[in-house]
Amino acid sequence: MTAKKFISSWHKVFNSQNIDNLDDVLADEAVFTSPVVFKPMEGKEISKLYLYSAGQSFNMEKFSYVREVHDGLHSILEFETYIDDVSVNGVDMIEWNEEGKIIDFKVMIRPLKAVHKVQEKMVDSLNKFK
């Protein structure tokens, strides 16, 4: 199987905006790397929390994937959105295992103003889980 076959499962979960649905696509050993946290988050539960919080941070009404590239078990999805009045451009870099589960998810964002805005919104979102 290839990433191109697996990506529809990510889109389905992403569009649902339901944290429990992330269990369907994340491997137990998943690692999430945030653009605003220095250390990668290791494990399914913490990856799930950060992915969900990232989704809560973005303006989903304006969020769209504008490009996808798949190679083997790797996907790169470029996205655009706005948070408040800040334009955000970034990529989701996804690595899949052979079973179609995400084992590595890295988010990169530009410009710097957008990184600061995402950090602000992520802190607000994560604080709701405390």
pLDDT over 70, % of the chain? 95
Average pLDDT over residues 105-119: 93
Q: DSSP letter at 1?
A: -
State the pLDDT at residue 56.
Answer: 77
* CATH of 3-127 among 3.40.50.970, 3.10.450.50, 2.70.98.10, 3.40.50.300: 3.10.450.50
Contacts of 92 (CB under 8 A, 6+ apart): 75, 76, 77, 79, 105, 106, 107
State the pLDDT at residue 38.
Answer: 83
pLDDT tens digits for range 21-79: 899 999 999 999 988 888 999 999 999 988 888 877 777 888 999 999 999 999 999 99
State the pLDDT at residue 9.
Answer: 93
State the pLDDT at residue 50.
Answer: 86
pLDDT at 122 over 90: no
Sequence ranges of the domains in the chain:
3-127
State the pLDDT at residue 114.
Answer: 92
